[in-house]
Amino acid sequence: MNVLICVKRVPLTGGKIVLTEDEQAISTRHLGFTISPHEECGVEEAVRLIEAGGGSSTVLTLGPPEAEEQLRDMMAIGVDRAVHLVTDGGEWDPQATAAAIVDVIRSEGERYDLILFGNESADAGNFQVAIRVAHALGLPCVTGVKGLSVDGGSVRLEQEVAGGRDVYVVPMPAVVTVKEGLNLPRYPSVPGRLRAKRKPLATSTPARPDPRLEMVRLVLPPGSGKQAEVLGHGAEAAPAVVGVLRELGLL
Amino acid sequence: MAATAESSQQLPASQRVVIIGAGIVGNSLAYHLTRLGQTEITLLDKGPLPNPGGSTGHASNFIFPVDHSKEMTFLTLESMRQYKELGVFTRSGGIEIARTEERLQEFTRRMASAQSWGIEPVSLLTPDEVKGLVPFIDETLILGGFYTPGAGVVDSLRAATIMRERAAEAGLTVSANTEVLGIDVAGGSVQRVRTTRGEIDAERVVICCGAWSPRLARMAGATIPLTPMVHQMIDIGPVPRFANAKGMIEHPIVRDMDTNMYERQEGTGLEIGSYAHRPITLDPDDIPSIEEAALTPTELPFTQKDFDPQMEIALELMPEIVGDESVGVKYAINGVLSVTLDGMPLIGESAQVRGLWSAAAIWIKEGPGAGKTVAELMVRGESEIDVFESNVARAYPCQRTAAHIKARASEGFNKMYGIVHPAEQWESDRGVRRSPFYERERALGAFCFEAVGWERPQWYESNAHLLEEYGDRVTRREAEWESRWWSPIINAEHLAMRDRAAMVDLTAFAVFDITGPGALDAVQRVAMRQMDVTIGRVVYTPILTPGGGFKADLTIMRLDDDVFRVVTGGAYGMSDLKWFADRLPDDGSAQLHDQTSSWCTLGLWGPRARDILGSVTHDDISHEGFPFARCRTIEVGALSVLASRISYVGDLGWELYVPIEQGARLWDIIAEAGAPYGVLPAGIGVYGTTGRLEKCYRAYGMELEGDFNVVEAGMAWGRVKDEHFIGKEAHVRHREEEPAATMCTLTVDDHTSSSGVKRYMLGNEPVLTRAGAPITDRKGRRSYVTSAGAGPSIGKHILMSYLPPEHAVLGEQLAVEYMGERYPVTVEVVGSTPIFDPENTRVRA
């Protein structure tokens, strides 16, 4: 089978988030880059499916030239090939992003049995691209998936809902958005890293349509960043710790 | 009582010492200051404890003790001693592996350095022996190993914590999460530290901030000349072979020297680090804040592309582990570390702001030793380990610029594991300081070495014709290593100087005047020899530490009742200047004026020197009219020249000083006047090595350093002056006791190696008994070659070494180990009598 996993290059945040002066983006002066944890699970799932059943996996991104780094990272995990839709670094809205992805899928002859996405991107969080792609291609789409198994021409999907899981069985080809917890992604091995350098990566430069969704500005929620409160030292800190545990409902 | 300032508590209003930075250095310094009885000390860090987020928190923490630098080795050995005492050292052994023949040769040098500095045992290993110790290595890729069984790994954060806790018990105030906002300076002295938690008035402020140090120094208007640089490392695991590993480390650390990499087991993982990637420097302001950093501020995002080649190399070397598909890359960072202009740390009080101290560019392996050393310097004014090469005051202003530091740090980075020749020259940012003779020198084909920014001719290609003239008297060097950065022309220039005369560019001297009514007292207090001399005397004098060790040796001219001109070597000129400046009388009765960039110096020496100078001056320069050790202003052509009749090469002549803009004219006058007498330009190869060694003249930083005293150096001639001087009590004591070692001059009896090639030592080699046993004096100091070089006039290779009394005997037959072989040597001189012209008839002609 052929599996496509779509990912997005996003800043690897860990500390206090700082915005650029125009409030249009996160300042990445001190930051590395990654993909969202949902997407990491999608990549791991794609690799496992191919390892188990044969076929080929492809990772796709729409992003700046530097996003090649994320494509190589994913190929280091075991994805076979990559498609890079190179942008000038500006953010594309979900409609434009979905259209560009659809163009690729069509141009490749709609050969994918499974098209995976993260449930949402780590930065913009529009929750739209996968659904728009499914709609354009006329494919079934299940979102928020935390369990996935392929059985012949169909795929069984478990969607997390309050109080339990909804289970769907849909025919392939299908579009699926996955969530963190679907699996435990592996670390790349050194040989994997080195192989990734030589794996095929196709690039193209789609034209950016006029955006229909425009971001006005970013605003930091209050209280973001690392927050640590020293509760005390030694035994005298114990009552405060108990208080916190109570507050969290753990006692 | 432990004093830990919580955020609710006030910082002390005033302190004797404020230490900024609670990494391995700051904590160690705090601990050692309290051990020396110091009180009223506060330790600040902007980060949390125990890991405030600097390099101590992510460093790889392994220690290989053997280094060619004695100072670095001694700091490391002292640090290891402390780590062991703190219970945080795990001995794993360490193996440096060779992939090239050149590296195998380098290992024989490391064996020699280990012996010189007293590190045993060490051994050379075959590839199979390496495999025996590191079973997961592909031994077919390597030619051999250098094994240090005593190498190991430390827990530096734990060490820092223990030392901080001990210091807190002795009264140290600790304040974490306290960022320094400013350091106030008034009248050239530090006043207070302003922090996010209030201000502290401070007598002394010590910057122990690693890669951030330049930023802190800038707050006080000073410079700490280092740059943050990236060192990449990754952790892979879990490794099946290490599944049952109990401790932090069980396998020897491997340093893959020829690829600038290391591999070490850590728990169930393998850490791979590299100094091979492109040099990546940062501005200290580019280090993220603790809040903004994804990990800690000094663990920057990994740049995979830079590391790709290193992964291939590690995979090849340790295929079983690195090639295992189940072993993942779990952690990868661009770690930040500190690199300086010359690879040495930055220790001591700033030359720019009184009371502002630096303890920076110190790595884990030197941390506790450096902390102890800085504490001793602060309390006693000298330290057990002489750190003159690390003195932060050593840098001239042109060496402190960001551009210069970046250039040199970048050049030095990839040499971290390099095979660095003792005379190796920098390539970047050259030509900053040029003497007025420079254009003439270039035209003569000068091969320049750099000395603290100056371009200084080492020899002149224009003298190549002398090789024919002197034929077999000029020794050729067959081996590539010792002919590197060397030319036989040096020896030919030497012989021509002895026969005729030579001109030597000495503009790199540091020159400063001490003036004012208190000038005599000021120099008298610092100099060992009598300075109350007649005007026009030149005094060569040791400058001593309080303990009677060497701080410097230099000459002082008395130019007037209250004007003294100090002339010292360029290399440590700024350190010497600071030493004098710090000891001027408090009442302002004497001032120091730096004249380094005002005067150029041309040395003229040789039997025809008087004829040459006499042909261009009407002044009386006869021996009677201008005796040795005198200085006087004379007219040379149209120039007014300060002439000083001294010599470091053992021949008749003068140092001629003129204002720098008149230097070219002086050169032309002497060159023209000298032509009929066969004058030639000679380089520092003659001045610094061959000329001085034949005369057994000592050099600061080689023979003379804090570890040795005047009596041991054989320089305790004359009576001790009545006036007080720094180090006097110790010096008097040294005169009364039998020296533990005496400076001796040796010559090599046979240079022939086992392969029949003649080899020539370059310095720092261990001096052994003929049977091959190391020689140690009663103070525990090993005998090693302090200087080595040709003696063309005596036709022998000359070595200098301190020897204990039982070996400091004329004619004593000893051996020197060089490149893995032992060569027979003989003691030619005990003490300071010259080998060449022992009666000094030439100098006093």
Q: B234 near B332, Cβ under 8 Å?
A: yes
Strand ranges, E, within B251-327: 253-256, 261-266, 269-274, 299-301
The answer to whether B300 faces chain A, any CB pair under 8 Å, is: yes
Say how far apart CA B78 and CA B533 lie, in whole Å.
43
The answer to whether A237 faces chain B, any CB pair under 8 Å, is: no
Say how far apart CA B182 and CA B221 lie, in whole Å.
10
Torsion, CA B813, CA B817, CA B820, CA B822, rounded to 10? -10
Query: Is residue A248 one of the residues assigned to a domain?
Result: no
Domain assignment of residue A188, given as a range: 2-219
Lookup: tokens for B545: 């530490």
Buried b (16+ CB within 10 A) or exposed e, B48-62: ebbbbbbbbbbbbbb
Q: B294 or B734: which carries more pLDDT confidence? A: B734
* B632 CB neighbour count, 10 Å cutoff: 20
Q: What average pLDDT score do residues B785-792 get? A: 98
Q: B584 near B592, Cβ under 8 Å?
A: yes
State what percent of residues in chain A have pLDDT above 70: 98
Q: What letter would DSSP give residue B278?
A: P
Q: B572 or B291: which carries more pLDDT confidence? A: B572
Residue B2 has pLDDT above 50, yes or no: no
Nearest residue of chain B to residue A78 (CA atoms): B325
Categorize the per-residue pLDDT at B492 as very low, low, confident or very high, splitting at 50, 70 and 90.
Answer: very high
Query: Is residue A251 one of the residues assigned to a domain?
Result: no
**Terminal Cα-to-Cα distance of chain A (whole angstroms):** 49
User: Which pLDDT score, from 0 to 100, does residue B4 have?
Assistant: 52
The answer to whether A13 faces chain B, any CB pair under 8 Å, is: yes
Nearest Cα to B421, choosing from B352, B486, B330, B476?
A: B486
Q: What average pLDDT score do residues B286-292 get? A: 88
Please report residues of B whose CB lies closer than 8 A to that of A18.
292
Say how far apart CA B220 and CA B348 lie, in whole Å.
15
User: Which pLDDT score, from 0 to 100, does residue B3 have?
Assistant: 46
Query: Is residue A240 one of the residues assigned to a domain?
Result: no
Report how many domains make up chain A: 1
Please report residues of A whose CB lies closer than 8 A to that of B305.
69
Q: Is A54 left (phi over 0), alpha (psi -120 to 50) or beta?
A: left
Residue B5 has pLDDT above 60, yes or no: no
Tokens 């192989």 locate to A195
Q: What average pLDDT score do residues A223-231 get? A: 65
Tokens 């490392």 locate to B233
User: Which pLDDT score, from 0 to 100, does residue A227 have?
Assistant: 61
User: pLDDT per residue over B258-280, tens digit each?
Assistant: 999 999 999 999 999 999 999 99
Q: Quick check: A69 and B308 CB within 8 A?
A: no
Q: Quick check: B293 and A14 CB within 8 A?
A: yes
Q: Which amino acid is at B264?
A: R
List, in order of start, the domains of chain B with CATH numbers.
Answer: 89-152+228-340 (3.30.9.10), 446-506+687-691 (no CATH), 510-594 (3.30.70.1400), 599-678 (3.30.1360.120)
Lookup: tokens for B379: 């309390």
What 3-state class would DSSP assign to B535? Answer: coil
Say how far apart CA B326 and CA B317 lie, in whole Å.
18
Q: B603 near B656, Cβ under 8 Å?
A: yes
Q: Quick check: A194 and B308 CB within 8 A?
A: yes
User: pLDDT per residue over B30-79, tens digit each?
Assistant: 999 999 999 999 999 999 999 999 999 999 899 999 999 999 999 999 99
The answer to whether A20 faces chain B, any CB pair under 8 Å, is: no
Lookup: tokens for A156: 């069984």
- Mean pLDDT value across chain A: 93
User: pLDDT per residue over B425-482, tens digit each?
Assistant: 999 999 999 999 999 999 999 999 999 999 999 999 999 999 999 999 999 999 999 9
Q: What is the CATH number of the domain that holds A13?
A: 3.40.50.620
Q: Quick check: A190 and B311 CB within 8 A?
A: yes
Q: What average pLDDT score do residues B353-367 get? A: 97
Å from A11 to nearest chain B CA?
A: 10
Nearest Cα to B643, choosing from B585, B601, B704, B676?
A: B601
Query: Is residue A242 one of the residues assigned to a domain?
Result: no
Q: Quick check: B301 and A186 CB within 8 A?
A: no
What's CA B169's distance to the chain center, in Å? 36
Residue B788 has pLDDT above 80, yes or no: yes
* A143 CB neighbour count, 10 Å cutoff: 18
User: pLDDT per residue over B109-156, tens digit each?
Assistant: 999 999 999 998 999 999 999 999 999 999 999 999 999 999 999 999
* A230 CB neighbour count, 10 Å cutoff: 12
- B328: nearest CB among A15, A187, A197: A187
- A69: nearest CB among B7, B288, B304: B304
Q: B687 near B506, Cβ under 8 Å?
A: yes
Query: Is residue A47 one of the residues assigned to a domain?
Result: yes
User: Which pLDDT score, from 0 to 100, does residue A224 have?
Assistant: 54
Q: Quick check: A29 and B288 CB within 8 A?
A: yes
The answer to whether B755 faces chain A, any CB pair under 8 Å, is: no
| Dihedral pair phi/psi, residue A71, rounded to 5° | -65, -40
Please report residues of A whose CB lies closer than 8 A to that of B322.
190-191
What 3-state class would DSSP assign to B269? Answer: strand
Tokens 């409609």 locate to A95
Nearest Cα to B116, choosing from B805, B828, B782?
A: B782
The answer to whether A156 faces chain B, any CB pair under 8 Å, is: no
State what percent of residues in chain B have pLDDT above 70: 99
pTM: 0.94
Nearest residue of chain A to residue B325 (CA atoms): A189
Mutation pick from A190, A220, A236 vs chain B, by most beta carbons of B within 10 Å, is A190
State what percent of residues in chain A have pLDDT above 90: 78
Residues facing residue B630 across a β-bridge: B537
Transcribe B409-447 into DSSP letters: HHHHHTTTT----TT----SS--SB--TTHHHHHHTTEE
Categorize the per-residue pLDDT at A234 as very low, low, confident or very high, splitting at 50, 70 and 90.
Answer: confident
Residues facing residue B339 across a β-bridge: B227
Query: Is residue A122 one of the residues assigned to a domain?
Result: yes
Say how far apart CA A102 and CA A104 lie, in whole Å.
5
Query: Is residue A181 one of the residues assigned to a domain?
Result: yes
- A186: nearest CB among B288, B301, B328: B328
| Dihedral pair phi/psi, residue B700, rounded to 5° | -65, 140
Q: What average pLDDT score do residues B232-255 get? A: 92
User: Which pLDDT score, from 0 to 100, does residue A226 have?
Assistant: 55
Say how far apart CA B600 and CA B331 lie, in whole Å.
56
Query: Is residue A247 one of the residues assigned to a domain?
Result: no
User: Which pLDDT score, from 0 to 100, does residue B9 have?
Assistant: 67
Q: B526 near B724, Cβ under 8 Å?
A: no
Cis check: omega of the bond before B225, within 30 degrees of 0: no
Say how far apart CA B498 and CA B484 lie, in whole Å.
25
Q: What average pLDDT score do residues B710-715 get? A: 97
Q: What letter would DSSP give residue B690?
A: I
Q: B744 near B827, Cβ under 8 Å?
A: yes
Å from A181 to nearest chain B CA?
A: 19
Torsion, CA B396, CA B398, CA B401, CA B407, rounded to 10? -110
User: Which pLDDT score, from 0 to 100, does residue A15 have?
Assistant: 81
Å from A164 to nearest chain B CA?
A: 33
Residue B590 has pLDDT above 90, yes or no: yes
Residue B1 has pLDDT above 50, yes or no: no
The answer to whether A32 faces chain B, any CB pair under 8 Å, is: yes
Question: Annotated active-site positions of B, please?
Answer: 231, 262, 553
Angle between the N-to-C axes of helices B24-35 and B367-380, in degrees from 0 to 180, rounded to the nearest 10? 40
Q: Quick check: A12 and B301 CB within 8 A?
A: yes
Please report residues of B whose CB lies closer than 8 A to that of A31.
294, 301
The answer to whether B325 faces chain A, any CB pair under 8 Å, is: yes
- B325: nearest CB among A30, A33, A192: A192
- B329: nearest CB among A18, A190, A228: A190
Nearest residue of chain A to residue B311 (CA atoms): A190
Q: Quick check: A14 and B294 CB within 8 A?
A: yes
State what percent of residues in chain B have pLDDT above 90: 96
| Dihedral pair phi/psi, residue B269, rounded to 5° | -115, 175
Chain A to chain B Cβ contacts (< 8 Å): 78
Tokens 């728990």 locate to B267
User: Which pLDDT score, from 0 to 100, does residue B247 have?
Assistant: 75
The answer to whether A33 faces chain B, any CB pair under 8 Å, is: yes
The answer to whether B293 faces chain A, any CB pair under 8 Å, is: yes
- Sheet containing B123-125: which strands, arranged edge to edge? B123-125, B144-148, B94-98, B253-256, B261-266, B269-274, B226-237, B328-340, B299-301
